[in-house]
Amino acid sequence: MKNDYLNTKIGMVSDMIIESRKLVVFTGAGVSTESGIPDFRSPGGIWSKFDPDDFTIEKFLYSPETREKQWRILVEGGIFTDAQPNQAHLSIAELEKLDKLDCVITQNVDNLHQKAGNSLEKVIELHGNMRWVECLGCNERYPVEDIVQRSKKGKEVPDCEKCHGILKPDVVFFGEALPEEALQKATYHSRNCDLLIAIGSSLAVFPAAYMPVYAKGAGAKLVIINIGDTSCDSSADIVINGKAGEVMGRILDKVRERL
């Protein structure tokens, strides 16, 4: 009975996708954990091992000791591993190939949507992208792999080779505002879509979590796919509790059947 109910929901979501003219997919950490990327906030995540206060932008800028600790956590914490897209990322990329995707709005910083095949212009990154490191002095940018190698060779607090300024991962730290352009684009697409599918997010981190609220408020349908409960479950048209890769793979299969 339970499996029949899930099949019914998957069929309903696939019909929504087929009927949609402006589908927005919103993704959180639960999409990337299946690729081995650590979840920051869940039990066993990085914030259960380290103090989030050590990742404030103020401490990064003004405390060399804290900056050293931050780089050590980032290098040793598995965030820079060469992760590969999983079925959720691949399914979302396939929706773009089927011309059924307006854009992806993501809280993740791992570049896996692009690796899976989504176009750069289709991916809106609310919290930045960990593949780049930027100098706060001269704005020189470095591939993160280069900086990680320097750290492993003994340069515990890497600095800019050009001006010796402070290097910072191109991601949003606590106390730092979201990139204005990305936030504006995400808000626009959320308020102008007819279907938003939120995947792998508890929808508890704002302002990113406003996107499903904006979509629903503008009259769009809302689908939530997540292992646990979310703050928007009560307003969603369909809620599916399950793993992102498995559920999205099944939804994509149904979409292909019905196109």
Cα–Cα distance for residue pair 27/248, rounded to 1 Å = 12
What 115-121 contacts at long range (C-beta under 8 Å, 24+ apart), as own/partner pairs, is 115/84, 115/85, 115/89, 116/85, 116/89, 116/90, 116/92, 117/90, 117/93, 118/92, 118/93
Give the Cβ contact number of residue 74 at 10 Å.
Answer: 21
- Amino acid letter at 99? D
- Amino acid letter at 14? S
User: 196: which strand partners?
Assistant: 24, 222
Catalytic site positions: 127
Contact 17, 195 (CB under 8 A): yes
Q: Which two tokens stand for residue 21?
A: 């003219």
**Among the residues of the chain, which ranges form H helices?**
2-19, 29-32, 46-49, 57-62, 64-76, 87-97, 112-116, 144-152, 180-191, 210-217, 244-258
Contact 66, 60 (CB under 8 A): yes
Residue 99 DSSP label? T
Look at residues 174, 177, 78 and name the one whose alpha carbon lies nearest to residue 126. 177
